Structure 1
Amino acid sequence: MGGVGRPRIALVTSSYHPHLGGVESHVRHVARELRGRGTEVEVWTVDRGEHLGVTELDGTVVRHLPTPMPARSGRALMSFGLAAPRAWKAWRSAFRAFHPDLLHVQCFGPNGVYAAALARRARVPLVLSSHGETTADDHDVFGTSALLRLGLRWAISAAATTTGCSEPVLEDLRNRFGLIGGEVVPNGVGPAPTKTSSSVLPDDLDLGDGPFVLGVGRLEMTKGFDLLVEAVAGMDPDLRVTLVLGGDGSQREALRSLGDGLGLGDRLRLVGPLDEAAVDAWMRRADVVVMPSRREAFGIVALEAWRAGTPLVATSLGGPASFVTDGVDGVLVDPVNTAAVAHVVESLLHDPARRSALGAAGEASARRYSWQAVAESYAALHADVLRPENEGAADQGSVSAGGPGREGPSSR
């Protein structure tokens, strides 16, 4: 243990600051809360070629580690053969510098493969937390990569415990990846941000006199913003509804073209990536927040809308149906049925009293999802895993020179 009764936890995440997203926000808040509880924490994340090395965020050390993976072409295999030993050396160095008692993978990808291999070599416990990467990945990486599928199965079998952000996420791990059991640890939401935003804010734009509907997230097909564009285009033109989309992604220009083709023109605003303060500012100004995902693991946007007291219309496909009470603190709808989405949003725009009731109920529901509660759930899991009777004969100093390919799925 790092000091008397103070565990050292490495949160090994698939992505982190300066990138924005649900996993990045989750890990940042969890790291801050765990540190506040006295846990010694580092964040280890994937080096995307930016070579950021060792940085610090909110007082937490962040290590950006290389995670090369083998591919099928001869050139790619040769490149992997050269890169893998250097990557493994970087992971071993990170372990020796921090000497964690436990590796906690947040969102499994190449980071999880390396963490699982390191945990086995170093004889420290492994904890996995899934954020829907097997069901809601933009590029279906687990559908195309046999290595990642095998790696996740192997890691689940080796992990001391596995959590998911919702029951549908755990159910997929059980059905396809061999998980037995599992525990739901949801996302959280904190108090309204007080920091000044560097993103585009509502006062920066002329949004006209009509109501506006807000969608926030990655501009990818899984998030269903094309469906929302179609729904808004099908609404009563006399309402003059403006649709604002916050986020970035590969579908940005396709969404712009779709909006132009459907006659939205300047009633579709793509405002780019939004930091947490900007998300909150936009939500407090919006008349309705819509989450139209084709697949959604959890939906932190729902919690952010609740915090802002703004009425929520959420997808019925996936995680939100497990915590949004339809008709009470939000409205659930199948986003593929764009006519139904249009009807629900239109009816809310015509009914201020119902919008107010949904918003107030959402604010009450948000209080159940604090980051403190999320961190407490993780801390309890860590404590249970690190009990002497569960640790076994762990030798935390034995990090060999062998690479992940020798112990992990790439050798099978």
Structure 2
Amino acid sequence: MHLTDVFAPRIGGIEVLVESLARAQAAVGEEVHVITATVGGSDSDLPFQVHRPRRMTGVRRILRRLQPSVVHIHVSVASPLAVYSAHHALRLCIPLVITVHSMWDPPVRACYSLLGRLAGWHDGMVFTAVSTVVADQVGRALSSTPVVVPNAVTPDLWRVPSTSGTGLHVVSVGRLVTRRQPLKLLEVLRLAHDRLAGEVRVRATIVGSGPRRGAMLRYLRRHGMAEWVHLVGSQDHWAVREILASADVYLNVTRREAFGLATLEARTAGVPVIARSGTGVADFVEDGREGLLGSSTEDLVTALVSLGRRRTLRDRISAHNRAVPPAEFSWPVVLDRLRTCYDDAARRVVVGPARREDALR
């Protein structure tokens, strides 16, 4: 049983990951259910059942009725359904795994530290994190380092023949929200474009939708970028594959990137990556091997200019990315890691007489 505050029809990192995980588990014969606070959407074509209770109290009734073997809760920064569900899963003596998908800054760590102490979160549950940097932050909050279980991709789905041509085609995929710094993305593109003027023809494709689209369009008009930067809105996997096939560079400027699933997809497709150091991307992109990492805006601009001018460097990184698929981030490996976590959670459940009576009540 997966529990997540956010799910389809919303589009975002957690939403995509939970659906992909549920599909992968269903594909190997596991019975999978999802409980979410997100309303709407059509679930009839999914290979698992989705429950959308109107009230949080409905979660306890679903858990009591289905008695899942394990509850897997997906936590971001603010996840009220997840917190509520964790409490009741513990009371019902159901093995519990909690995965943290977001960066926890000091105020968030303080809140979860207090919550963990009050709710007894350290007893009878297993914590995982989607990247090393997230595990470090969660460990500081809960005084127990989580297991790193990354997001996953299907490598064969993203390995497409390259159709890149002359010039430099820069691609970025993600929701157009403040947290993802879309205006910073445009700034990096503008500065790199100015430095490469007269040397390399630059064009950019930005995939995604969100509330910052209007501000991005105004930025493009103000700086005369509309002719070479294209906002193409949300696209399905197949359309993104085609866009990545023509990409020369994938750019991710997000400073608070907990993992970067779209970035992993681009790396799997063979595209050299430019991203921030000290983020979840560093778990699958080593500076100089799968791409270039930088800590500042200037570093990102310099990296983009470097890949624009040095075709041999781009080709070398692309050849490596195509020749060496990220096997550690494939579904068979990740599912095995999760099964180990589920088994660990089951071993931690201790059902005494009082708790057994409460669970059956």
Q: Would you say same fold, with TM above 0.5? A: yes
Q: Deviation digits for residues 258-313 of structure 1, max 9, x if unmatched? A: 22222212222111112222222211111111111121111112211122111111
Note if 1:184 corresponds to 2:148.
Answer: yes
The TM-score with structure 1 as length reference comes to 0.76
**Shift of residue 164 of structure 1?**
0.3
**Does residue 163 of the first structure (1) align with residue 132 of the second (2)?**
no
Aligned to 1:275: 236
Residue 60 of structure 1 pairs with residue 48 of structure 2 = yes
Output the CA distance in 2 between the equivalents of 1:312 and 1:92.
Answer: 43
Distance of 2:351 and 2:273 partners within structure 1 = 48
Residue equivalent to 1:354: 313
Q: What are the superposed Cα offsets for residues 50-108 of structure 1, whole Å, 9 maximum, x if unpaired? A: 4x6x9345310011234xxxxxxxxxxxxxxxxxxx531x2133224422122110124
How big is the alpha-carbon RMSD for the aligned residues of Structure 1 and Structure 2? 2.9
Contact 1:55/1:63 (8 A) holds in 2: no
Whole-Å separation in 2 of the counterparts to 1:132 and 1:353? 36
Q: Secondary structure at the match of 1:62?
A: strand
Query: Secondary structure at the residue paired with 1:265?
Result: coil
- 2:266 is matched with which residue? 305
How far apart are the structure 1 equivalents of 2:9 and 2:73?
Answer: 19
* 1:369 and 2:329 are equivalent in the alignment: yes
Distance 2:182 2:357 in 1: 47
Q: Per the alignment, in what secondary structure is the counterpart of residue 392 of structure 1?
A: coil
TM-aligned CA distance change 1:156 to 1:283, over 3 Å: farther
1:223 to 171, 174, 180: 180
Q: Distance in 2 between matches of 1:340 and 1:169?
A: 23
**Which residue is 1:44 aligned to?**
35
**Contact 1:244–1:270 (CA under 8 A) maintained in structure 2:** yes
Of 37-46 and 391-400, more deviation after overlay is shown by 391-400
CA–CA distance in 1 between the matches of 2:130 and 2:357? Answer: 29
Residue 75 (structure 2) pairs with residue 107 (structure 1):
yes
Closer, same or farther: CA 237–182 of 1 in aligned 2, 3 Å: same
Q: Which moved more, 1:93-102 or 1:367-376?
A: 93-102
1:12-35: CA deviation from partner (whole Å, max 9, x where unpaired): 122222222221222222222223
Structure 1 residues 260 and 156: CA distance shift in structure 2, 3 A? farther
Alpha-carbon displacement from aligned partner over 1:98-120 (angstroms, at most 9, x marks no partner)? 22122110124112122112213
Counterparts in 2 of 1:141 and 1:213: CA distance versus 1, 3 Å:
farther
| Count of aligned pairs | 347
Structure 2 matches for 1:253-264, cutoff 5 A? 253-264=214-225
C-alpha contact 1:113 1:155 (8 A) present in aligned 2: no
What amino acid is aligned across from residue 128 of structure 1 in structure 2? I
In structure 2, runs of 5+ residues without a counterpart are none
Asked if structure 1 preserves the Cα contact closer than 8 Å seen for 2:75 and 2:99, the reply is: yes
Cross-structure match for 2:15: 24
Q: Residues 360-380 of structure 1, C-alpha deviation per residue, up to 9 Å, x if partnerless?
A: 222314233101211111111
Q: Distance in 2 between matches of 1:65 and 1:259?
A: 42
**SS at structure 1 position matched to 2:7:** coil
Structure 1: gaps (5+ residues): 1-9, 67-85, 195-202, 401-412
Residue identity opposite 1:105 in structure 2: I
Q: 1:283 to 1:91 in 2, by over 3 A?
A: same
The alignment-based identity, stated in percent, is 28
Shift in alpha-carbon separation, 1:102–1:346, aligned structure 2, 3 A: same
TM-score by length of 2: 0.86
The list of structure 1 runs, each at least 4 consecutive aligned residues, that deviate by more than 6 angstroms after superposition, is none
Aligned residue type for 2:142: G
Residue 178 of structure 1 and its aligned partner are, at CA, apart by 2.0
1:149 & 1:14 partners in 2: Cα distance? 20
Query: Aligned ranges for residues 328-343 of structure 1 at < 5 Å?
Result: 328-334=289-295, 336-337=296-297, 339-343=298-302
Q: Distance in 2 between matches of 1:12 and 1:130?
A: 12
Q: Does the CA-based 8 Å contact 1:99-1:396 persist in structure 2?
A: no
8 Å contact kept, 1:193–1:277: no
